[in-house]
Structure 1
């Protein structure tokens, strides 16, 4: 990420840290932690040009001992629950806090207790953390609390104390905390980008909805940050990828386009409707009519319905979600499910992906088109010249046409499975087999309610009923 005057800004920040010894270790004023660090011998060490990661400070044994003694005097039940969790046996890859190699676990739990004491967590995260800590104590195992510990450990190993507090202040749920730590552990490691974006865009939950390109996952966010706070807010609001156009479009016109956005979207919809009207008209005129003297099947309502459906399909096909492949899945350590995590997973599973909804709409539109073609053919046969026997034979000859819904449905299912394999749509059995269901319904409606009724009218004329 290249920002204007970034190098001079870094130089000024380092100069400030070198002149302010009280900010050298933490980057922010924290009287409680400053006293602990000062009495642990850090005041006599040579400070660096930038604050170290938070976990680096707490891995020192004198700092942990003094921080634990300070927190033991705190009457908060949540703080005491976290301190009691230090002695609980963890799951892999963490080692027990009292064994060699268990310093990261002890440091992370002490950090969590200190952050809870200083109100660094949001109310929702603090409440959920207290529940998990108490559940771990009741189970005599760190299993319920360990996902939170691993997430906080990843953040404390990456960020200094000031940045860590700012990030935690923008995280409202434990699921967002886990998502943020997953991004920190990923190969792209967008820690600085996410920190800057969270300061501008607000809660981290908004960043989790941004579309990502598998090759450059955070390229859009980096470009938006380089353009300023307004660009970041616009990107987070739209949840759409940034498309680069090869046309020489003047950037000065973008603010004017945003002011007239609703009018331009209305014009776009009108153009889709007009073009769909002429496409539908040309399509039906292109189909052969074996009975030119018969009255046409057109009425205003069916034509408007087909025009609106085609306009919707054209608009959906041009959405940016179809132009970019899905990001590759990220795999993380799976621990035993707690009631909180099970609740989060069940909530996420109920959401329908927009591309799946568009796929369902396309399959439904194809079946409606097949239905209209079949109804049009039956009207041509019924209103055309010839006696009853000829019309019945023509109906039998068009039996394959009336089964076209099944053929289109099978082809749609195969196409959906292929699109899921290559990653254009989210894997979903509903989107794959909905085409077959629509095809079966279309054929049933055509043969039961139309073909059967037409044969009955031909075999039993109205005057003989």
Structure 2
């Protein structure tokens, strides 16, 4: 390294020092930005790597074997189906265990558990059906269930049985009519689940209250909707599966949501059943499915695959899963696995702290990159280089780093502009004898004009205008600190007129861009956001010129005339 010696002291040449600073700033900025990119913390989503750390291992297979040991082959078989759809290790062993159980106890396998009462019903009323509804269509089986329920001392059971006398129904035919078999089957199933304590206490109370209200002449549509849900489930479940499913249902709305999603496809029933098995409550799972109807099936599958704690973490957060292609590619190639795992653990334990660290890393990383670019800028050789004010460039770089952070938050955050759409669920399966679809007496919610993406666009346009406003104030401060006469400052002020108007230009550009995106259907920020871009530009440019530029220009004019005089 060439050094300059002066009075026996070695000095590094200015050009070499500048290069060293540039390299240092670049390395620091790049390292900080890389760590920020690798930090899996987000405002409105959960990273797939965090789920992987939260769960640790898949528990579908082990849970299936545990259920088999408890003589519950029905639930174990659904978990096996879920594991098979996900191609998990151990599926073959679980399948062999299920087949062994089937050959050893075919009736118990058909029933789905070892419930002695249902076994007695099936022994006296044999059926080849694998599902509960196939048993209930037989009149002798229903008579056996009815005789059992009529002996119950529970008021709730007797209240449910009184519903069999209802005549004014919206969907079903009365029980006593020729087409009353479906309604009778549903009521007897609900009564049997209630009598044998297969309903949660919260849901059992709701069922009893709903049945009592209907007996008093209230609207029957909510009761009929619940009956449709029960029949839909019984069409595809045996007794062991149905009772296991119903034990975590906490409300009529939860039942409706989970039934709606479970009946959507062949894969969804095992997925919803497995999620409900691992979830802390059915309500959390139902809320998640309602909030994210498009992405929830994929997300809960990721939770199931990664284990019980992963799914519970996802349902507690109530946020969609984001799969980073960059981090997944690095993980598949064995790059940065250890630091990535540590960042995932930090995000899992302290998500808000990790998010704060991530944004600070972006802020300081972009600032160092701007310092690096500043070092690459050649020194001006004319008189303008002597007019530079110390500290102004540093302040300008800080503002630009803030602008970069704003764009990172708005454009780099997954699902930030996505609205959480709660959907209303309707029964997905009906009997041919039904007269009309069940509809809830719920007021239609008017589509709001201010959507989430509109609010996001408003915030983005506002913050950008604030940053431009700050940059203009910095430039104005730089002119004020120039060691020059007032006439020269006036000319410098006139030279920056386009900069002072840049907020208006950007506002118009934001309006045009929003209208184009709205017309093309790329995103729909709304007309309010489009016009607000220009409005913010007008407001900030007017404030800048009226309250800052105009008074200073007036002062310079007076000083210039005084100097001439």
Change (3 A) 1:314 1:279: farther
The number of residue pairs the alignment matches comes to 441
The equivalent of 1:91 in structure 2 is 170
Change (3 A) 1:356 1:176: farther
What is the aligned counterpart of 1:401 among 485, 497, 502? 502
Q: Which moved more, 1:323-332 or 1:440-449?
A: 323-332
Residue 511 (structure 2) pairs with residue 410 (structure 1): yes
Matches of 1:188 and 1:402, distance apart in 2:
55
Q: CA deviation at 1:460?
A: 6.5
Over residues 403-461 of structure 1, what are the superposed CA-to-partner deviations in whole Å (9 max), with x where a residue is unaligned?
23641442464367469x447xxx775xx634643652453244146524542454478
SS at match of 2:221: coil
Change (3 A) 1:37 1:73: same
SS at match of 1:16: helix
What is the aligned counterpart of 1:444 among 539, 554, 564? 539
Change (3 A) 1:181 1:401: same
Q: Which moved more, 1:55-64 or 1:355-364?
A: 355-364
SS at match of 1:89: coil
Matches of 1:170 and 1:114, distance apart in 2:
16
Matches of 1:415 and 1:138, distance apart in 2:
58
Change (3 A) 1:201 1:445: same
Residue 248 (structure 2) pairs with residue 170 (structure 1): yes
Matches of 1:249 and 1:235, distance apart in 2:
26
Change (3 A) 1:409 1:269: closer
Change (3 A) 1:366 1:196: same
Q: CA deviation at 1:191?
A: 0.7
Matches of 1:271 and 1:105, distance apart in 2:
62
Query: Mind listing any 5+ residue stretches in structure 2 that lack a counterpart?
Result: 1-84, 428-436
Residue 449 (structure 2) pairs with residue 368 (structure 1): no
Residue 264 (structure 2) pairs with residue 186 (structure 1): yes
The equivalent of 2:215 in structure 1 is 137
Change (3 A) 1:60 1:7: farther
Trace 1:304-453 onto structure 2 (pairs within 5 A).
Answer: 304=398, 307-308=401-402, 310-315=404-409, 317-321=411-415, 332=426, 335-338=438-441, 359=457, 361-376=459-474, 379=477, 387=487, 400-404=501-505, 406-411=507-512, 413-414=514-515, 417=518, 421-422=521-522, 433-434=528-529, 436-437=531-532, 439-448=534-543, 450-452=545-547
Q: CA deviation at 1:192?
A: 0.9
Over residues 291-329 of structure 1, what are the superposed CA-to-partner deviations in whole Å (9 max), with x where a residue is unaligned?
873747849788656634532531553344379999998
Matches of 2:473 and 2:392, distance apart in 1:
11
Q: CA deviation at 1:195?
A: 1.4
What is the aligned counterpart of 2:280 among 181, 202, 206? 202
Q: CA deviation at 1:377?
A: 5.4
Trace 1:246-285 onto structure 2 (pairs within 5 A).
Answer: 246-247=329-330, 248-250=332-334, 253=338, 258-261=344-347, 268-278=358-368
Output the TM-score relative to the length of structure 2.
Answer: 0.62
Change (3 A) 1:223 1:448: closer
Judge conservation of contact 1:171–1:205 (CA < 8 Å) in 2: yes
Query: Mind listing any 5+ residue stretches in structure 1 that lack a counterpart?
Result: none
Judge conservation of contact 1:125–1:173 (CA < 8 Å) in 2: yes
Judge conservation of contact 2:457–2:529 (CA < 8 Å) in 1: no
Change (3 A) 1:72 1:31: same
Judge conservation of contact 2:426–2:439 (CA < 8 Å) in 1: no
Change (3 A) 1:368 1:459: closer
Matches of 1:256 and 1:36, distance apart in 2:
56
Matches of 1:331 and 1:233, distance apart in 2:
23
Change (3 A) 1:19 1:166: same
Matches of 1:104 and 1:131, distance apart in 2:
22
Matches of 1:266 and 1:455, distance apart in 2:
40
Judge conservation of contact 2:396–2:474 (CA < 8 Å) in 1: no
Larger radius of gyration, structure 1 or 2? 2
Change (3 A) 1:95 1:313: farther
The equivalent of 2:138 in structure 1 is 60
Judge conservation of contact 2:256–2:426 (CA < 8 Å) in 1: no
Judge conservation of contact 2:173–2:179 (CA < 8 Å) in 1: yes
SS at match of 2:415: helix
Change (3 A) 1:122 1:240: same
Judge conservation of contact 1:184–1:191 (CA < 8 Å) in 2: yes
Q: Which moved more, 1:260-269 or 1:325-334?
A: 325-334
Matches of 2:113 and 2:422, distance apart in 1:
38
SS at match of 1:8: helix
Judge conservation of contact 1:121–1:169 (CA < 8 Å) in 2: yes
Superposition RMSD on alpha carbons, in Å?
4.8
